[in-house]
Amino acid sequence: MRPARALLAAAVLALGGAMAHGTVLEPPPVNDTAIAGAAFPKTLSEFGFFQDGRAQDPAARVHAYALNTPLWSDGAEKLRFIYLPEGARLTADGEGLLQFPVGAAIIKTFAFGEGAERRLIETRVLLHRAEGWVALPYRWNAEQTEATLALAGGRIDLTTPAGEAISYAIPNKNQCKTCHSKDGAVIPIGPKARNLSVKWMGEMLKAGRLDRLPPGAATMPVWAGYTDQSPAEPFARAYLDVNCAHCHQPGGGASNSGLDLRWEQSDPHAIGIMKRPVAAGRGAGGHDFSVLPGQPDASILLYRMDSAEPGIAMPELGKASVDKDGVAVVRRWIAEMQR
């Protein structure tokens, strides 16, 4: 018997013996050292987040989750996961961002296409280390077998679900910081209690992975449930919170604009209503107010949302095309405002 065949036979016999004795073969654990250590792993597989990376089949203690209102990125499908070390749990902080223990990770994969045609483009990871959060981008290869660290970012030509040919941008490490920065520190921006389902949080609570079900959970609407009969304001405000408020808030990258687009902000002037821009330029499109009630086409906010032109488009990062659905909801919200 040749050596390779002998090894295979031995493996089969060992597996059969383990099964006969009722032994359950556990998948390899997530690499906690790769998450909490000082190095930047060169490949996504070094973390061990997935049993099958191509299928995005999560490993033990890696929990899939979804957002009620997700951030839009050229129509990409987002596959979101949270990893928690053994014995650790999330801590609720009101309706805001869940607090993650050191050693936790947030994983988000961007994909285009469906079924067998689905193509994984990039996976972004946020690692909670003792010194704070670290954001790293990983680019999937053409064979869909591995994602490699892309500190310098990258560009990929692809076609969006809307049929638009775009040059998709994978952010570099510093650009990751641009969106994930508040008061100079890198933080998560997605998993807020108000934007997570009660069912998911209840499951995490039951599993001992969440300390409590907070008041104000799941207050943001489910974007996929929007219809022409839905009230426009909560959907528009949720959209702006998710897509814009990580920069447009106190301590955010665009705090000097004076706009505060967070869900919890209730001051009309702070969210742009009858607010003049701090610095007028080509981004203002010749308009005078961020939001002019009853006049969406005279509102700077909508003008910038409805553009893909560099220097005008908002958000500045994360899109190469216009989200027609998002523009339509915000347009309706402004049009329905009392002048």
Q: How far apart are CA 156 and CA 141, in angstroms?
A: 11
The tokens for 263 are 């869900």
Give the phi and the psi of residue 71 in degrees, each rounded to 5.
-70, 140
Q: What is the pLDDT of residues 223-240, one digit of tens each?
A: 999 999 999 999 999 999
Q: What is the pLDDT of residues 242-258, one digit of tens each?
A: 999 989 998 888 888 88
What is the average pLDDT across 92-109?
94
What is the average pLDDT across 24-51?
89
Q: How far apart are CA 273 and CA 336, in angstroms?
A: 13
Q: Which one, of 75, 100, 99, lies nearest residue 85 by Cα?
A: 100
Residue 1 CB partners (closer than 8 Å, separation 6+): 9
Q: Which one, of 189, 230, 194, 187, lies nearest residue 214 by Cα?
A: 194
**What is the percent of the chain with per-residue pLDDT over 70, rounded to a whole number?**
90
pTM summary value: 0.87
The tokens for 149 are 């660290």
Q: What is the pLDDT of residues 203-222, one digit of tens each?
A: 999 999 999 998 877 789 99
pLDDT confidence band for 26 (50 / 70 / 90): low
Query: Where does residue 215 rank: exposed (0-12), middle (13-18), buried (19+ CB within 10 A)?
Result: exposed
Residue 44: C-alpha distances to residues 50, 52, 66, 86 (Å)? 9, 12, 21, 20
Give the phi and the psi of residue 164 in degrees, each rounded to 5.
-90, 135
The reported pLDDT for the residue numbered 184 is 76
